[in-house]
Amino acid sequence: MDFFNLHTHQGNNRAEVVELVNQYPQEFNRDIPFYSIGIHPWYINEESLEVDLVIIESKLQNENCLAIGECGLDKRIDAPFELQQMVFERQLLLAQKYSKPVVIHCVAAFQEVIEIKKRLNISVPLIIHGFSKNQQIATQLIGSGFYLSFGKYLVQSASLGTGLEEVFKKIPENHIFLETDTIDKGIETVYELASNIKGISMTEMQEIIKRNFETVFKRK
């Protein structure tokens, strides 16, 4: 493995890249080599919820299912927040049961995510994907044991000057992942940008992500 892509919606099946492709219970593709599967808060369907959770639990027992997600909380959508919390918590408990990391979508609900982790005593690794917030939130999350994955917003920040580069620069190396999510760029581009921001070589960045991958996903 030369590169690890923590979160993408479009796998490319390249030998040098391990991709964690996001899948949904009702749209499962068995041909994807490595994947996460979960109920995104945008797509909660109460009518199919129990069936979806059964599908997720069955897939979590497959070796190629590396994580549950993306799942989480989003205060900027119409779905009732209490319903989002219930669905998120049930997925966290499945992750705990099967010792799988969790890829989290979080919008304007970081304190709630931190509180839920503590209340449910979740010990599996939790990764906030697509992190784009300030140093204060980053510090709180890392202090609570979360990992942060950077991609789309880090690329945008490089051209828009949002200041996310300064946040990324200060994140401890053992708490970072990189991703492409929905951007039309290869993961190598994100690695190169991340390396430049950290002031290290591409090889050093590859080693950092490889170590984090092996620690979180328990794979070589």
Binding residues: 70, 105, 129, 181
- Tell me what percent of the chain is helix, strand and coil, each rounded to the nearest 5: 45, 20, 35
- With residue 89 as reference, give the H or E element that holds it: helix 81-98
Q: How far is CA 174 from CA 51, 57, 80, 177, 213, in A?
A: 36, 29, 35, 9, 10
**CB-based burial, 82-119: b 16+ in 10 Å, e otherwise:** eebbebbebbbebbbeeebbbbbbbbebbebbbebbee
Binding site members for a divalent metal cation: 70, 105, 129, 181
Residue 39 DSSP SS3: coil
Q: Are strands 35-37 and 147-150 parallel, antiparallel or unpaired?
A: unpaired
Write the burial class of residue 180 (CB in 10 Å: 0-12 exposed, 13-18 middle, 19+ buried): buried
β-strand partners of 150: 178
Instruction: Answer yes or no: are the C-beta atoms of 129 and 6 closer than 8 Å.
Output: yes
